[in-house]
Amino acid sequence: MITLALAGKPNCGKSTFFKAATLADAEIANYPFTTIDANHGVAYLRAPCPCTGLELPGGATTCGHCTDGVRFIPINLIDVAGLVPDAHLGRGLGNQFLDHLRQADAIIHVVDGSGSTDAEGNPVGPGEHDPEEDIAFLPYEMTMWVHGILDKHWAKLMRQSVQRGFSLHAAIAEVLAGLSITSEDVAAAVRETGVDLGHADEAALITFCGALLARAKPMLAVANKADLAPDALLARLAEHGVPPATAAGELALRNAAKAGLITYLPGDPSFVVVDPAALSKAQVAGLESLRGAMTRLGGTGVQAALNRAVFELLNQIVVYPVEDETHFMDGRGRILPDAFLMPTGATARELAFAVHTDIGKGFLYAVDARTRMRIRDTQPLKNGDIIRIVSAAK
């Protein structure tokens, strides 16, 4: 299962974001280092369910695995301790924090878009700190962390590559294997930066590490607390590709929906109050204030950030394997029960291996359930495909 990590400086709203996305227990407070040990939970991606528009068996109007035509697909989410300047040198919870990021496929960099906390997460007056300064902060700290790891091994790597003819690319990948870095990643970073690793000085090596990290741990910055930020500031952040979010608003909506006060699906642009007469004046005022913020921001931004991290940064698509392409069912008679995340360009054969290794080994052919046509085992799958896999495996 794909894993995302929430990272950033202390007191920027990571734990609120985590709790909003997972509804898991997480301590939330207005001071640095609320999170000491990483929190782990399950969040969900939002995607249109393919059952909409299909002629389902038995007169069914839905597959039973979606809500109003919306499919929610689980992913792992990690909320790690806050990062302070020079964390790569061990300041704060530095190395402990950075080590937690080894598990992540991609990182959501939570930035305090309101400017109400300084570089170390201490509360200041609204707008007293420029959040633009925080955007490059996390990539820098992580780049220097990776550089530190390589630097410790660099002399040995160079000797081995010269004296024993070892591949320097492979040797670097082996040292950084814990970050899921491959020889291909190393080669791509070399091509991108033009760095000659055999004669690289410190500055060139840092540049190379930055490019390598961007490939191995792609990152999306999100301006949290955007409901407290002026439009001009949000516009400046948007110029850097940083979308707005209000994790506190998302958490309030999910709790209200859980209590039956509103109808709301994560990622909706607004919500509907179930029974206005059942709400107190304070609840009405709070919900209307939140509705205004959602109108201004285009939603709360939490679900959008999760989706963007997986579907854009990691280039994933959603594919639905079935055993009966005529009725879109599995072997137990369930309609479209499974949704698999696959990398863009993945083939039916690769989907077979994702379902089960034995099914992949016994792969014979695949069928597009919508067209009832066989597809080549080398043909890339499309987002939303419903695929029957025919395998010799039982």
> How sure is the predictor about 130, in pLDDT bands with cuts at 50, 70 and 90?
confident
CB–CB of 299/269 below 8 Å?
yes
Q: What is the pLDDT of residue 31?
A: 40
- Expressed as residue numbers, the domain containing 147 is 139-214
Answer yes or no: is pLDDT of 109 > 60.
Answer: yes
Q: What is the DSSP string of 31-44?
A: STT---SPEEEEEE
- 192-228 pLDDT, tens digit per residue, is 999 888 888 889 999 999 999 898 899 999 999 999 9
- 349-378 pLDDT, tens digit per residue, is 999 999 999 999 999 999 999 999 999 888
Same domain, 94 and 28: yes
* 326 class by beta-carbon count within 10 Å (0-12 exposed, 13-18 middle, 19+ buried): exposed
> How sure is the predictor about 34, in pLDDT bands with cuts at 50, 70 and 90?
very low
* 375 beta partners: 366
Same domain, 244 and 99: yes
- 222-281 pLDDT, tens digit per residue, is 999 999 999 999 999 999 999 999 999 999 999 999 999 999 999 999 999 999 999 999
Q: Which amino acid is at 65?
A: H
Q: What is the pLDDT of residue 167?
A: 80
CATH number of residue 372's parent domain: 3.10.20.30
User: Among 270, 239, 242, which residue's Cα sits nearest to residue 256?
Assistant: 270
> How sure is the predictor about 84, in pLDDT bands with cuts at 50, 70 and 90?
low
Q: What is the pLDDT of residue 90?
A: 55
Q: What is the pLDDT of residue 94?
A: 47
User: Among 279, 360, 348, which residue's Cα sits nearest to residue 319?
Assistant: 348
Q: What percent of the chain has pLDDT over 70?
A: 90
CATH number of residue 210's parent domain: 1.10.8.470
The mean of the pLDDT values for the chain is 87
Q: What is the pLDDT of residue 27?
A: 46
Tokens representing residue 173 in the block: 């990948």
| Domain boundary pick from 166, 189, 214 | 214
Same domain, 188 and 328: no
User: Among 254, 322, 307, which residue's Cα sits nearest to residue 63?
Assistant: 322
Answer yes or no: is pLDDT of 28 > 50.
Answer: no
Same domain, 110 and 256: yes
Same domain, 121 and 256: yes
> How sure is the predictor about 89, in pLDDT bands with cuts at 50, 70 and 90?
low
Same domain, 19 and 126: yes
| Domain boundary pick from 267, 289, 308 | 308
| Domain boundary pick from 214, 236, 257 | 214
Tell me the C-alpha distance between 183 and 189, whole Å: 10
CB–CB of 50/336 below 8 Å?
yes
Q: What is the pLDDT of residue 283?
A: 92
Q: What is the pLDDT of residue 341?
A: 97
Same domain, 65 and 81: yes
Same domain, 234 and 117: yes
- 179-189 pLDDT, tens digit per residue, is 888 889 989 99
Residue in the block written with tokens 């389902």: 56
CATH number of residue 258's parent domain: 3.40.50.300
Same domain, 203 and 329: no
Answer yes or no: is pLDDT of 35 > 50.
Answer: no
Tell me the C-alpha distance between 12 and 123, whole Å: 10
Tell me the C-alpha distance between 262 and 127, whole Å: 33
User: Among 187, 162, 193, which residue's Cα sits nearest to residue 172?
Assistant: 187
Domain total for the chain?
Answer: 3
CB–CB of 302/21 below 8 Å?
yes
CB–CB of 233/127 below 8 Å?
yes
3-state DSSP call for residue 195? coil
CB–CB of 192/211 below 8 Å?
yes
- The bridge status of strand 39-48 relative to strand 70-79 is antiparallel
Same domain, 302 and 353: no
Same domain, 233 and 269: yes
Q: What is the pLDDT of residue 26?
A: 44
Residues 6+ apart with CB under 8 A from 22: 41, 42, 43, 77
Half-sphere exposure for 282 (CA within 13 Å, toward CB): 0
pTM of the complete model: 0.89
- 131-161 pLDDT, tens digit per residue, is 888 898 888 888 988 888 888 887 787 777 6
3-state DSSP call for residue 75? strand
Same domain, 90 and 13: yes
